[in-house]
Amino acid sequence: MPTTAEASVKATNKQASNIPADTAVTRLDPITGQSTIFAPQRDARPDQYQSTDLTQSDTAIGCPFCRGAESQTPAPVWIGRKADHGTIDSEMAAKSMPRSASRAQQAALVRQTSLAHSLCIRDPKELSAAQADDWLVRVVPNKFPAIMQVGDGHFREPKTTHPRRSKLFSESPVAGGHEVIVESPNHEETITALDTSHLALVFAAIRDRMGHWQNVDGIAYISTFKNCGGDAGASLAHSHSQMIATDIMPTHIREILSRTAKYRAKTGCCLQCDLIRAEQKEKQRIVATTDSLVAFCPFASPMPMGVRIAPRDHADRFDLASDEMIESVARLVKRVARWIEKLMPGTAYNFVINTRPPAATGDAESFHWSMDIFPRLSRIAGFEFGSQCMINSVMPEIAAANYRQCSASEDPRGNR
């Protein structure tokens, strides 16, 4: 039962806006130019992290994301499973392979554990006919969305200005989509518990749903993120990611697009491409490299121990990534998450995927997709809120050295 204070807040929420109470709204700050999304309905979502003594078995009881509880979520919009209905443990297979294995044998293992052996179901008819509990990864609309879902009658074309209640108070409904990527039917709390081939299916789901929202008229921006742990913003312990597609473009994203476009116009080069080349030349902040990806601690990282993963060759949109790239992303992301858990046991962390927004204009060669992964080692306090300038207590060169030490101690056969 809600407390008197909670009931009072909810009653106030219903009366605070000219827009219907069940509709998320965006309000524009005329001084900063920043928009804030107000979504009072989010208060109704369950929070397993409110208690400080929950164990995994406690959080698994009644979990809506576990196999067998599919009726507790909206119907899926995407399902991924193994084509042969089985799971392939790529890491166990890799570790059992002798160190003397030839490149051909290693390549055969990669093919065996690739997305080619997975089945991604997107068609609504196939989804409705699929067996409810036959899945490894499923994507569902968020039951407590931060924004209104497309199709509810509130969706509009992207706005150039905010409708005004008065000269200084700009408010309008915000719409799009808010989805949950449930990463496993088992009650796992982190992605490091998943086999790499399974994790590749998670990123395939993200890629496919990004592609869906890229093609929805009116969508301006897509945010894909993971909150792992209560301090990172998670409310349910079961491993999952989220995607919010919206018809508003955040101010700082507009600034990024403007800066990268100006750099491209001035130099003829992509800013991120030049940064990656410079990081590889200096080497101090490089964490790991693969044939297609580089992981490094950014020179001006706002968060301690933060890592950025980006493709070595220019690519502007994550939703256009090949299966081979998706598999490489899964392997490298899992390694970085494993290092975070080893260096900072029990620490919550986030990842966010930065992809070229649907409403971006200009040259696609100016934007380069990337992913930021960062443990939550520090709190955002008064200075950060007041100045919008972060204080980082760990130099990125030191962070990278620690990650490289973790990498050197790994069995390379488990990283394929």
Q: Residue 27's beta-bridge partner residues? A: 36, 171
Q: Of 154, 178, 212, 240, which one is the catalytic site residue?
A: 240
Distance CA 73, CA 84 (A): 26
Q: Residue 349's beta-bridge partner residues? A: 228, 375
Residue 191 contacts residue 91 (beta carbons within 8 Å)? no
Which strands sit side by side in the sheet containing 35-38, from one edge to the other? Answer: 35-38, 25-28, 170-173
Angle at 305 between CA 311 and CA 302, to 5 degrees: 80
**Which residue carries 């905010």 as its tokens?**
162
Residue 273: enclosing H or E segment and its boundaries?
helix 271-282
Residue 4: enclosing H or E segment and its boundaries?
helix 4-16
Cβ atoms < 10 Å from Cβ of 123: 9
Residue 109: enclosing H or E segment and its boundaries?
helix 103-112
Q: What 3-state class would DSSP assign to 287?
A: strand
Distance CA 389, CA 387 (A): 5
Is 240 tagged catalytic?
yes
Q: Residue 86 carries which DSSP code?
A: S
Crossing angle of helices 323-343/396-408, nearest 10°? 100
Residues carrying an active site annotation: 240
